[in-house]
Chain A
Amino acid sequence: MSRLELLTPEGLRIDGRRANELRRITAKTSVFSQADGSAYIEQGNTKCLAAVYGPREARYRQQLQSDRALLNVEFNVAPFSTSERKKRSKNDKRSLEMATFIRQTFEPVILTKQLPKSQIDIYLQIFQHDGGVLQCCINAATMALIDAGIPMIDYVCACSAGCIDKVPVLDLNNLEESSDTPELTVAILPRTGKVNLVEMESRLHIEKLESVTELASQGCMQVHKVLDSVIRENTEYLRDRLNT
């Protein structure tokens, strides 16, 4: 089998991007009227829908926390999201782990202390899977939370970066991910630049860690720009509607 050249000597990737370029991001908020807040995001061919319910009364009494809100994340991948149809249960290990990552990312950002004895539910659904699922979910969740009007200290923007032939590469797609490229996902708070999540499951040379992390956080800032403009646009639209 031929090994594909993921990064040509001229610095182009298979999909025509350069090493430090993101895939195209399109996003939209308030896609559902049922949910309190919702968002739809496409990062290249990875497509994710987020719906936020809450703050609302906690469903189970025993989970209720008297001093803060309870955060609940459910993550689901559609069986038709990859080229080969594969049913994944909501409760399989990967999905649960992913949900935990996301919950832990948002817990310190949402001002839960202001909403005691309540529950916030974030439902995430992947429709098409082309790499970078975690970052896509975090970005979608941020937008949905903002759309729901839940108090947060900042956006949470996530982006992944990897390393192909010793060159740091931004925003891996499925093809690049699946050929043993180490992938690092970073989520940061863009205003302060604080890192909220760093996740990596493969081996990466320690010498490269710094440059890869740096590239990923630069990517986060770019993501922030896009998300921010979408949110502002939506807010303006809402304001216009209020005024009329």
Chain B
Amino acid sequence: MPDLVYYDKTERSFFRKTRSNAIVKLVREQYLRGDIPCMSEQCPSIPPCQRVLDINTNNPKHEGLLSAHADHYVIPDMSARDKTLGGIIMRYLEILEQEELTGIILSQTIITSLQQHDKLRTYRKLRQIINDTRRNSVVFYNEVFADTRVPRLAGETASERDWRALCRMANWYSHHLGKPIVLLSEVNSTLNNNNNDDDDNQGLVTVRTMKQYIDQYWGQHTLLQNLAQVLAEAVLEDDLERIRVTSSGKKSEPAVSGYTEYKPMEELEAGIKSSRYFSGTLRCRSGTRDTGYVNGGQKLEKDILIIGSENINRAVHGDMVVVELLSENNWTTTSSKIAYGGSTEDEYEETRLTRNINTTHPTGRVIGILNRNWRSYVATIQEDTPSNGLFHLAIPLDSVIPKIRLRHHDVKLIQNQRIVVRIDSWPTSSQYPNGHYVRSLGPIHQLDTEISAILVEHGISVSQASQGFSEASLKEMPEDTVATPWKPEPNEIARRKDLRSLTVFSIDPPNCQDIDDALSIRDLDDGRIELGVHIADVSYFVKENSLTDLEARSRGTTVYLADRRFDMLPSVLSEKVCSLRGDVDRYAVSVLWTLDSKTLQVLDTWFGRTLIRSSCEMEYEQAQQLLDGESVATNLSTSLSKKLKPSVVKLATVLRAMRRQRLAKGALELESSNEVKFKIGDNHSVTDINILFLLFLYTNLTILFQNFNESEAMIMANSYVGKRIYDGFKDAAILRRHPPPNAGQFEMLVKAAESKGFPVDFSSNRALAISLERIVKNSAGDPEIARLMKTMATVAMNEAGYISSGHYVVDEYFHYGLALEFYTHFTSPIRRYADIVAHRQLLMCVEDEVAILDRQKKGTSMTQDSKVNDICDHLNLKSRESKFAQRDSTELFQSLYVLQHTTNGNPLIESGVIAEIRSNGFYVFIPRLGLKGPVFLMDKHGQPAVPLSLQSGNSDHDEEYLSNCTIDVSIPTNISVQAATLPHPIQFNLFDHVRVSLKLRKSHAHRHMVYMTLIDLEHTKVEKSIPIMSKDILMKTVMESFNNDDKEEIEDIDDIETGREVGGEKIAMSKQEIETRRQLKKSTKQQGNMYDFLEQFRKMSIAACSYVDNTTTN
């Protein structure tokens, strides 16, 4: 127990308004300390002040101290002329966030002030900077430090005192370290030194505005220069605005069309507390940015609709808003129309919205904003903008975001390009928000540009997008070249369990580069069986808090897009040292089960680090051949086949038996998981990430390789590891949970199924699985129905996510989809960060020497609930975003496919199934392309527009419409069209087969969008097997035409590079970036073997798998 280290005690008293609006005086103690560390590597005290601290605190910060090499440190200030603006911190946060800026000292003065003014988002962002050890930035608690504390004088304003506190702190630092300190402030330009005794350090502390600072220290850095310039302009503009407002005494510009000023914060807070107002996150539906909704919370149990831009009142999708309800006679119903010109948004949200249509919704209006949630948006300058003038409108790619007014001196430079834009402000006098231009991504409708746009929209970091790792982090990596191949170290060999004599093999799709799991099985002497799962030991190479680890953590997952992937780890790990290749020694983390040979009960489980030598990288087909009784598999030598065959056969029998056993036990575990797997497999555009990731690899395995059921072993490994780490760290284990759905979520599915005469019982996962199975069985003639039905079930379910066990109650750990009590992700550390965390936790649980040593040496945050929880939240976000990015890229390729097949004027006619009925049309799912698109039966004005071809049966007439018809809609199952010329009404039922013509709506500011027009109903039942074109072939066709363009594109890049000086165009693309891009190009080009390429695509497209499955079964 330490002795008391505080020097003195003071009191802080202030007045505060209570809930009942009484004003009370509050007194808080303030202890002044002498042990606040300067957190600098250069600390002159002996021992350095942070070392002293280590003894007293639980989690000392060892890394990311202020660097000794930096030539100056920066202290930002947040005072501003106007309270709403918030000085440097608020206005120039974007610059502070730039990775180049290091050595930022954040004062407690600012933190307190941010917390007092509810700027929690800014605070969190600043925290991110501090937590990033690469930034070498720290927090300094000047307010509780005896030497830097500044009491408020009588008659002094709070901001004056804050400024004095900052000056005092800057002086202290310069004294303490003898380094130049830069105080960043927009308002104060002189140091306040009246309390400083000696002035010999004067030269070291300087006050700069952001612009001066950038000019002085970052004169060469164009990106920073640009940003500073743009932000300064925005600030200037605001200032001018204010001057105009104040000088004229009243509003100089009238508020535009119904925009009103927000109510003061106190009023909002009081209103929310008294339930007069409601607060929540504003969400807009795609294509309808003037209609939004806010979750009404428990009191209303419905969403609050906000209709019209004047009611949304300058709020943007994602903002935390305060809403006031309108009087009840203004309440309306939600429309279930298919939006014109929007992409298929989050289907989960969509279903949630449409669930209770036809009931009146509370309708409200935004009267205040608690928190802006603006991020970087990808946008395009409006097509017909005049090239002169300073202000231009940019249309964001995301259709829920309003157009952004931005200022750029030469619009020609950024026209017809996708650009990154940030919103700065939205005054009432402006129809659109004001923003600024950040950088350009490239010309519109080029594959690379569109892909970068997808990456930016989904928050995938630049470093991951450029596939690069910093040199420093690459230095941490082991070496593995052809000349000097990587070899295990002798002392590691001694330390690890040596399993090199064991027959270990991996089963993966052909040409897999990153093999992260392998299997083994053998008979033990006493008649028991040992089953082993061996996972690449990534955590051995990626030490916690190393640069690679931090980078991998921020990436979260490997992102697979339709045509490329963005790795989480450097390729030397993912493809070489960690990949469990054949015939080389590799480190692994193994789970070994001892099974009873008869009952297959698990008798014993062993976890730990091992050394393995995989006998063979088997492909599915080869394994299947061995299993089918062939003695030699293709491309395998006779001896190897002989060696492997017994293992493969044995493994298959054991796993199959175990699966049967589990089913017999009534747990129905795998059954339910299989169900979900297929569901996901069936529609790649399912937004629900659900079980997707876990099934991501397993679906492929099970479906392609059903007899073998390797996935059984992986699920087993994951669940055992989950249990083990939970036992080890009850309050901080990383688990994966899948919450059970509630009844409301299944409403759509039940109605849809009833229309086809199937009952659906969703009372438990088992019951649901059985009902779905029955649907599959009974609709054998029409596989699409079952497929769509399963998709609906999947969409209805909740998302699975990572959790830290300390944040949830024990009975909430359950994994609904797999029906497992504990589940985690353990088997793919190469492509998911969660697995790395699980590895670390597991190894600490089993007291692995190296893990314990690391922990002692550096400390670990992997056992702290709050840290693990932060990581979990981040990973959930990342996997969700990467899922969306995947979906977007698939859509991009689908539209390219349609574009290529319709350019020559030929219609692209496909048959599909009606997947969803809406009030102005329906969605059609085209199984051949895995594509879901809208068919409109009404035009934009609500007039019926039913194509004439329905009557005539001639597809040429699909642009002409039936006259005088009326449309009757009964959601969600039926829509009927009546017309004078028709003998009887045409009925469109859910799951009816239709023929449609695919078209592309071209767009300047958005991606091209696929839509469909109706040709006719297919009354005759479709022939059993529709010629199925697998996704692979789709990709192939698309890519073939792209290969032709490749040369050109490479030249394009060259142009960009050289054109930088020529055009004066400021393309923020580093040389390295260009180089990587070019390599990427080349690699795509060099893949003469289309198979390699398709392999990459396989990884993202589960849909493909199910098609293959179908073709094989048919």
Q: Which residues of A contact B (CB under 8 A)?
A: 1-5, 8-12, 14-24, 44-45, 83-84, 130, 165-167, 173, 175, 205, 207-208, 218, 221-222
Question: Given known contacts A11-B57, A84-B24, is B866 in contact with A17 (CB within 8 Å)?
Answer: no
Residue of B nearest to A208 (CB): B731
Q: Is the interface of B mostly helix, strand, loop or mixed?
A: mixed
Cβ contact within 8 Å between A18 and B30: no
C-alpha gap A175/B16 in the complex (Å): 14
Residue of A nearest to B144 (CB): A16
Cβ contact within 8 Å between B31 and A16: yes
Question: Given known contacts A4-B115, A17-B6, is B61 in contact with A10 (CB within 8 Å)?
Answer: yes
C-alpha gap A10/B32 in the complex (Å): 16
Cβ–Cβ < 8 Å partners of B4 in chain A? 21-22, 24
Give B169 Cβ to nearest chain A Cβ, in Å: 15
Cβ–Cβ < 8 Å partners of B864 in chain A? 166
Residue of A nearest to B13 (CB): A83
Cβ–Cβ < 8 Å partners of A19 in chain B? 57-58
Cβ contact within 8 Å between A15 and B31: yes
Question: Given known contacts A2-B115, A84-B22, A207-B730, is B1 in contact with A15 (CB within 8 Å)?
Answer: no
Q: B59 near A: Cβ within 8 Å?
A: yes
Cβ contact within 8 Å between B269 and A1: yes
Q: Which 5 A-B pairs have the closest CB atoms?
A: A16-B144, A16-B31, A83-B24, A11-B57, A15-B29
* Contacting residue for A165 out of B11, B26, B866, CB 8 A: B866
Give A175 Cβ to nearest chain B Cβ, in Å: 7
Q: Which of B729-782 contact A (CB under 8 A)?
A: 730-731
Cβ contact within 8 Å between B866 and A84: no
Q: B120 near A: Cβ within 8 Å?
A: yes
Q: B985 near A: Cβ within 8 Å?
A: no
Question: Given known contacts A12-B141, A16-B144, is B29 in contact with A2 (CB within 8 Å)?
Answer: no
Q: Which residues of B contact A (CB under 8 A)?
A: 1-2, 4-6, 9, 11, 18, 22, 24-33, 56-59, 61, 111, 115-116, 118, 120, 127, 131, 139, 141, 143-144, 269, 730-731, 806, 864-866
Cβ contact within 8 Å between B30 and A15: yes
Cβ contact within 8 Å between A45 and B27: yes
Cβ contact within 8 Å between B2 and A8: no
Cβ contact within 8 Å between B32 and A21: no
Cβ–Cβ < 8 Å partners of B58 in chain A? 11, 19, 167
- Subset of 11 A-B contacts with CB under 8 Å: A8-B141, A9-B127, A9-B139, A11-B59, A15-B29, A18-B57, A19-B57, A166-B806, A166-B864, A208-B731, A221-B1
Cβ contact within 8 Å between A14 and B28: yes
Cβ contact within 8 Å between A207 and B9: no
* Contacting residue for B731 out of A3, A84, A205, A218, CB 8 A: A205
Give A212 Cβ to nearest chain B Cβ, in Å: 13
Give A164 Cβ to nearest chain B Cβ, in Å: 10
Cβ contact within 8 Å between A207 and B115: no
Give B36 Cβ to nearest chain A Cβ, in Å: 8
C-alpha gap A45/B33 in the complex (Å): 18
Give B1074 Cβ to nearest chain A Cβ, in Å: 39
Residue of B nearest to A84 (CB): B24
Cβ–Cβ < 8 Å partners of B116 in chain A? 2
Residue of B nearest to A128 (CB): B27
C-alpha gap A222/B731 in the complex (Å): 30
C-alpha gap A45/B806 in the complex (Å): 33
Cβ contact within 8 Å between B139 and A10: yes
C-alpha gap A22/B31 in the complex (Å): 11
C-alpha gap A21/B9 in the complex (Å): 13
Cβ–Cβ < 8 Å partners of A23 in chain B? 29, 31
Cβ contact within 8 Å between A84 and B1: no
Cβ contact within 8 Å between B57 and A222: no
Given contacts A16-B33, A21-B6, 7 further A-B contacts (CB under 8 A): A1-B118, A16-B31, A16-B143, A17-B31, A19-B58, A23-B31, A173-B28
Cβ contact within 8 Å between A8 and B31: no
Cβ–Cβ < 8 Å partners of A166 in chain B? 731, 806, 864-866
Cβ–Cβ < 8 Å partners of B131 in chain A? 9
Cβ contact within 8 Å between B1 and A20: yes
Residue of B nearest to A4 (CB): B115
Cβ contact within 8 Å between B2 and A21: yes
Cβ contact within 8 Å between B141 and A10: yes
Cβ–Cβ < 8 Å partners of A4 in chain B? 115
Cβ–Cβ < 8 Å partners of A12 in chain B? 141, 144
Give A61 Cβ to nearest chain B Cβ, in Å: 47
The winner among A10, A21, A23, A44 for most chain B CB atoms within 10 A is A10
The winner among B9, B29, B32, B59 for most chain A CB atoms within 10 A is B29
Cβ contact within 8 Å between B18 and A24: no
Cβ–Cβ < 8 Å partners of B143 in chain A? 16
Cβ–Cβ < 8 Å partners of A218 in chain B? 1
Give A217 Cβ to nearest chain B Cβ, in Å: 11
C-alpha gap A18/B806 in the complex (Å): 23
C-alpha gap A101/B9 in the complex (Å): 31
Give B827 Cβ to nearest chain A Cβ, in Å: 28
Give A16 Cβ to nearest chain B Cβ, in Å: 3
Give B667 Cβ to nearest chain A Cβ, in Å: 29
Cβ–Cβ < 8 Å partners of B2 in chain A? 20-21
Cβ–Cβ < 8 Å partners of A17 in chain B? 6, 31
Cβ–Cβ < 8 Å partners of A15 in chain B? 28-31
Cβ–Cβ < 8 Å partners of A20 in chain B? 1-2, 56
C-alpha gap A84/B16 in the complex (Å): 11
Cβ–Cβ < 8 Å partners of A222 in chain B? 1
C-alpha gap A207/B863 in the complex (Å): 13
C-alpha gap A21/B35 in the complex (Å): 13
Question: Given known contacts A2-B115, A10-B141, A11-B58, is B866 in contact with A16 (CB within 8 Å)?
Answer: no
C-alpha gap A1/B143 in the complex (Å): 23
Give B1106 Cβ to nearest chain A Cβ, in Å: 44
Question: Given known contacts A10-B139, A10-B141, A222-B1, is B30 in contact with A16 (CB within 8 Å)?
Answer: yes
Cβ–Cβ < 8 Å partners of B26 in chain A? 83
Give A94 Cβ to nearest chain B Cβ, in Å: 21
Give A182 Cβ to nearest chain B Cβ, in Å: 14
C-alpha gap A158/B304 in the complex (Å): 52
Cβ–Cβ < 8 Å partners of B6 in chain A? 16-17, 21, 24
Cβ contact within 8 Å between B1 and A130: no
* Contacting residue for B115 out of A5, A24, A173, A221, CB 8 A: A5
* Contacting residue for A18 out of B18, B32, B56, CB 8 A: B56
Residue of A nearest to B4 (CB): A21
Cβ contact within 8 Å between A44 and B269: no
Give B16 Cβ to nearest chain A Cβ, in Å: 8
Cβ contact within 8 Å between B29 and A8: no
C-alpha gap A222/B141 in the complex (Å): 26
C-alpha gap A8/B131 in the complex (Å): 12
Residue of A nearest to B730 (CB): A207
C-alpha gap A165/B731 in the complex (Å): 11
C-alpha gap A84/B279 in the complex (Å): 29
Cβ–Cβ < 8 Å partners of A130 in chain B? 27, 29
Give B21 Cβ to nearest chain A Cβ, in Å: 12
C-alpha gap A207/B731 in the complex (Å): 8
C-alpha gap A208/B120 in the complex (Å): 29
C-alpha gap A8/B638 in the complex (Å): 64
The winner among A14, A205, A222 for most chain B CB atoms within 10 A is A14
Cβ–Cβ < 8 Å partners of B269 in chain A? 1
Cβ contact within 8 Å between B139 and A175: no
Give A89 Cβ to nearest chain B Cβ, in Å: 22
C-alpha gap A163/B18 in the complex (Å): 26
C-alpha gap A16/B731 in the complex (Å): 28
Cβ contact within 8 Å between B139 and A8: yes
Residue of B nearest to A175 (CB): B28
C-alpha gap A167/B732 in the complex (Å): 13
C-alpha gap A238/B111 in the complex (Å): 51
Give A150 Cβ to nearest chain B Cβ, in Å: 30
Give A75 Cβ to nearest chain B Cβ, in Å: 23
Question: Given known contacts A10-B139, A12-B144, is B866 in contact with A45 (CB within 8 Å)?
Answer: no
Cβ–Cβ < 8 Å partners of A165 in chain B? 865-866
Cβ–Cβ < 8 Å partners of B28 in chain A? 14-15, 173, 175
Residue of A nearest to B24 (CB): A83
